[in-house]
Amino acid sequence: MSKLSTEHLLGIKYIQAEDIQTILATAQNFKEIINRPIKKVPSLREITVANLFFENSTRTRLSFELAEKRLSADVVNFSASGSSVSKGETLTDTVNNILAMKVDMIVMRHPNPGAAVFLARELQKYPKSAHARIVNAGDGTHEHPTQALLDAFSMQQKFGNLKGLNVVIVGDITHSRVALSNIFCLKKMGANVKLCGPATLIPKHIESLGVQVEHDLKKALEWCDVANVLRIQLERQDIKYFPSLREYALQYGVNRQVLDSLSKPITILHPGPINRGVEITGEVADSEHSLILDQVENGVAVRMAVLYLLAGTPNA
């Protein structure tokens, strides 16, 4: 099988369109495998993976853990609570220590934007750690590359190709690592991207990434083939970017009424966890046009592909 042009998956920004194609093609193979009764392959049985989650997560950690186990890797988990992080150790020292235990790959979620890139650069200074593979499982408001890849895979499964596809990303663009990774991924794959949300939640000059901004939800949806609806992060609402959840839902919530008013049905994506009745209604989330649970299934296949391809590069 083919390999990637990079040793780590730090962000979609840092990989090539060809890498994305390789990952999606490989994910297709793994999707078939995880739909068989025996879902395990021996591909990574010589590999040990540490999942380092410095921030809470359910679905992403479970998805990576299942991907690793189905590749027959040895898996150890570490979460920030119960860690030496509070003991004043640097991130680089923590990871160098784990790697010294003959761990081959690090899947890391971290609250700080750029943590994965920083870590990969730091490890180059330590000959014994330089061989490690880093997979960014979300670094603050920066990137969440495997989410963008599973979104792309889900769209490709439905539409065959992303080239020329019209995709609108709806919601809090400013604070969303999912949005940024999706923008990079969709542009590299030739899709057209619009962003939709309150002006307070869309970064200025974002058009420089080759995307358009449309503040009117109905107009944005009318234009698109796919709407990727971001969750409003209730837990981060200490600063107010919009008057209330109810007002947000009225203006930017994706519901049956607005979808029925469009000239054609559109496909709905959401990275989860969903807030039913806020950014999306339950009716829309559960509808035939929603790929939400397909995205979750595809996430395991895409993560298997990423781990498999990175582990397979020559200097592993």
Residue 25 or 296 having the CB closest to a second copy: 296
CB of 230 to a second copy, least distance (A): 13
Write the Ramachandran bin of 270: left for phi over 0, alpha for psi from -120 to 50, otherwise beta.
beta
CB of 245 to a second copy, least distance (A): 10
Closest by Cα among 313, 316, 309, 312 to 146? 309
CB of 30 to a second copy, least distance (A): 11
Residue 234 or 250 having the CB closest to a second copy: 234
Residue 102 or 264 having the CB closest to a second copy: 102
Cis-peptide into 273, omega within 30 deg: yes
CB of 92 to a second copy, least distance (A): 10
Residue 13 or 59 having the CB closest to a second copy: 59
Tokens of 158: 């439905």
Residue 197 or 299 having the CB closest to a second copy: 299
Closest by Cα among 6, 8, 11 to 179? 11
Report the interface residues with a second copy, using CB under 8 A: 34-35, 37-40, 45-46, 48, 50, 53, 56-59, 62-63, 65-66, 69-70, 74, 76, 78-79, 81-90, 93-94, 96-98, 100-103, 125-126, 128, 231, 233-235, 272-276, 278, 286, 293-294, 296-297, 299-300
Residue 88 or 204 having the CB closest to a second copy: 88
CA-to-CA separations, 250 to 148, 226, 258, in angstroms, rounded: 27, 20, 10
CB of 171 to a second copy, least distance (A): 15
Q: Which amino acid is at 278?
A: V
CB of 186 to a second copy, least distance (A): 23
Residue 141 or 192 having the CB closest to a second copy: 141
**Cα maximum dimension of the chain:** 60
CB of 223 to a second copy, least distance (A): 29
